[in-house]
Amino acid sequence: MNYKHSLFLICLLIFCSCKQEVHLYKIEGQQINISDSLTSSSEIEDFIKPYRDNVNKNLDSILAYAVDTYSKSDGEYNTAIGNMMADAVYEEANPVFKSRTGEDIDFVLLNHGGIRAIISKGSVTTRTAYEIMPFENSTVVVKLKGEQVQELIDYLVKAKRAHPISKLNIVLDADGNLESAGLNGKPIDFTKTYNVATNDYLYNGGDRMDFFKTNDSLYVLDYKIRNVLIDYFKKTDTLNPVIDNRFIQLNN
Amino acid sequence: MKRRDFIQQTAAASALIGLGGMGLTSFAPATKKITILHTNDVHSHIDAFGPDDGRNPNQGGVSRRATLIANIRKENPNTLLLDAGDIFQGTPYFNYYGGELEFKLMSMLKYDVATIGNHDFDNGIDGLFAQLPHAKFDFVSANYDFSNTILDTHVKPYKILVKDGIKIGIFGLGIELNGLVEQRMYKETKYLDPTETAQEMTRILKQDEHCDLIICLSHLGYNYRNRPEKISDLKLAETTKDIDLIIGGHTHTFLKKPTVVKNSEGKNLLVNQVGCYGINLGKIDFYFDADKNKSANGTSIIV
């Protein structure tokens, strides 16, 4: 060990002996509510303002007019708002799908739980689309064999929920069993393969729609459901969706 | 703790702090106080809830939180501000700006460290990466292996900060992404076992780095009553050692007060979570003293 090293060691020893050992002896914990009794920081408020103004300007721009208030709880096996959503997916996504693949979407299936808000009577804005669909879920087209289409129909018959559908028809008998199922009024050929439009949440097993797992192919449109709605609202001057007979139960 | 004990302890503590200030006129005060402030699951809630909100009227808001934090920092400059993840997704601010405003505001509020929640992948790992230049604070995650992703080297397993000579080690833990986030969003991110990772982190921070205080920023979730096998903050607290505080997120748990848990060595630690949407701010004060006698009977916890 040379002179420099020993000097360094001495310094280190002195330094170490000077450093006080600290001991944790007390902890105090509390939760503070952020309430309106606190003054807002004007610096932060000023920073947020242009962002807020831009978002609000966009969100509050009027796209369409709703004749009535539409809720997903109005209707037993199909609802006006659900029908509108499924039909919008067909109308907006099919041209995109066709231009890229040359094929048509055969039918649409969404989920009842995916309708997150009502449409209130009056002005329909971009904000309405965000309220109905706050998530970033996108439209996908799944190629399903007849066997899986059968599973899909069995699922809907069993679920007895107003999952939004378009182009597909299901009739239950008085006992709640399947009476008939069709596509555009024609019977389904279960030996064929069908293009089913849905969202990526359901494709990935959401709501236990496991029939999507066994598929021939997946086509990702990169088209968010919310943007489908926004485009549909822009195109439609007056929203007037109705409960129809696409999914019904027969009386005795 | 009974109210009587609480009052006595507080009185004793104040008396000691007073004595410390008067008695020791040398270079350092005898007592040191580190304040940890924390949020979780703010989910893009930048504006306060309006007066007509059905659940949280007039609650939250970043600009109010800013005032509160500034006041606390004025009182104690040795304050750290932490977030336990799910900064993103929940209001159109995120849909419009992809998290830019969230990160910019957190930078203005001088956040020190945050961890990553599952919703922070909502615009994909690329979406998160794209917003990182707006964050003037660090991200820690010890059990997400990002080495085959764009986030490699941008997220550290832990961070050590020194305040008033007190060495504070902070490591991050994230929830299992498989089944929660689509794989195309998190890409090649590998999920490592949180308990094993925590043991590794505490070994580094305690034995190698000699930290005085070890904090785990977790997005694992507070507790899963119906799934006792699932890893949670309470479970992690019980099965590890050397962690002083677990700041949690994910389950949006509103606690009346921080939970005191005994770790694998029988020592007490705190687990806390403050609900969601920036409605509350957590505040934990740690008091240190050079006098070993004071901590001889264990650390007193007042919650």
Average pLDDT over chain A, rounded to an integer: 92
Residue B138 included in any domain: yes
Residue B3 included in any domain: no
pLDDT at B183: 86
Rounded mean pLDDT, A108-135: 91
pLDDT at A2: 59
Question: Is B300:B10 a contact under the CB 8 Å cutoff?
Answer: no
The residue of chain A nearest to residue B65, with distances taken between CA atoms, is A34
B 146-205 residues inside an 8 A Cβ radius of A: 165-166, 182
In angstroms, rounded to a whole number, what is the distance separating the alpha carbons of residues B51 and B57?
5
pLDDT band at A48 (very low <50, low <70, confident <90, very high): very high
Residue B52 included in any domain: yes
pLDDT band at B13 (very low <50, low <70, confident <90, very high): very low
Q: Is the pLDDT of residue A42 over 60?
A: yes
Rounded mean pLDDT, A82-91: 98
Q: Identify the residue among B95, B271, B293 best suited for mutation to test binding to A, counting A beta carbons within 10 A and taking the highest.
A: B95
A 98-117 residues inside an 8 A Cβ radius of B: none
pLDDT band at B22 (very low <50, low <70, confident <90, very high): very low
Rounded mean pLDDT, B77-84: 98
Task: Please check whether residue A18 touches B, CB under 8 A.
Answer: no
Among the residue ranges A68-82, A159-173, A206-220, the one predicted with the least confidence is: A206-220
CA distances from A223 to A60, A171, A227, B23, B287 (A): 22, 31, 7, 70, 54
pLDDT at B6: 43
Q: Do B61 and A34 touch (CB under 8 A)?
A: yes
Q: Is the pLDDT of residue A113 over 90?
A: no
pTM of the model: 0.76
Rounded mean pLDDT, A100-105: 97
Q: Do A41 and B274 touch (CB under 8 A)?
A: no
Partner-chain residue, chosen from B64, B282, B289, that has the shortest CB–CB distance to A25 = B289
Q: Do A23 and B288 touch (CB under 8 A)?
A: yes
Task: Please check whether residue B280 touches A, CB under 8 A.
Answer: yes
pLDDT at B42: 97
Contacts of A202 in chain B (CB under 8 A): none
Residue B111 included in any domain: yes
Tell me the percentage of chain B whose pLDDT exceeds 90. 79
Burial of B268 (0-12, 13-18, 19+ CB in 10 A): middle
**How many structural domains are present in chain B?**
1
For the stretch B145-184, pLDDT in tens is: 999 999 999 999 999 999 999 999 999 999 999 878 888 8
Residue B26 included in any domain: no
Q: Is the pLDDT of residue B112 over 50?
A: yes
Q: Is the pLDDT of residue A36 over 90?
A: yes
Average pLDDT over chain B, rounded to an integer: 90
| Domain residue extents for chain A | 58-249
Residue B191 included in any domain: yes
pLDDT at B234: 98
Tell me the DSSP string of A42-98.
HHHHHHHHHHHHHHHHHHTSEEEEESS-B-TTS-SS--HHHHHHHHHHHHHHHHHHH
Q: Is the pLDDT of residue B65 over 80?
A: yes
Burial letters B43-75, b for 16+ CB under 10 A, else e:
bbbbbbbeeeeeebebbbbbbbbbbbbeebbee
Contacts of A34 in chain B (CB under 8 A): 48, 59-61, 64-65, 68, 278-281
Q: Is the pLDDT of residue B294 over 80?
A: no
pLDDT at B298: 78
pLDDT band at A227 (very low <50, low <70, confident <90, very high): very high
In angstroms, rounded to a whole number, what is the distance separating the alpha carbons of residues A176 and A159?
11
Expressed as residue numbers, the domain containing B105 is 32-295
pLDDT band at B18 (very low <50, low <70, confident <90, very high): very low
- A54: closest CA of chain B, how far (Å): 9
Q: Do A31 and B281 touch (CB under 8 A)?
A: yes
Q: Identify the residue among B64, B162, B168 best suited for mutation to test binding to A, counting A beta carbons within 10 A and taking the highest.
A: B64
Partner-chain residue, chosen from B67, B92, B244, that has the shortest CB–CB distance to A39 = B67
pLDDT at A19: 54
For the stretch B231-290, pLDDT in tens is: 999 999 999 999 999 999 999 999 999 999 999 999 999 999 999 999 999 999 999 998
Q: What is the ipTM of this complex?
A: 0.87
Q: Is the pLDDT of residue A220 over 50?
A: yes
Tell me the percentage of chain A whose pLDDT exceeds 70. 92
Task: Please check whether residue A61 touches B, CB under 8 A.
Answer: no
Task: Please check whether residue A26 touches B, CB under 8 A.
Answer: yes
Q: Is the pLDDT of residue A132 over 50?
A: yes
Tokens linked to A204:
């990935």
Q: Is the pLDDT of residue B52 over 90?
A: no
A 122-141 residues inside an 8 A Cβ radius of B: 127, 130, 134, 136
Q: Is the pLDDT of residue A243 over 80?
A: yes
CATH number of the domain to which B134 belongs: 3.60.21.10
pLDDT band at B222 (very low <50, low <70, confident <90, very high): very high
Q: Which CATH superfamily is domain A58-249 in?
A: 5'-Nucleotidase, C-terminal domain (3.90.780.10)
Q: Is the pLDDT of residue B9 over 50?
A: no
CA distances from B70 to A39, B63, B66, B76, B108 (A): 11, 11, 6, 10, 11
Instruction: Tally A–B CB contacts below 8 A.
Output: 168
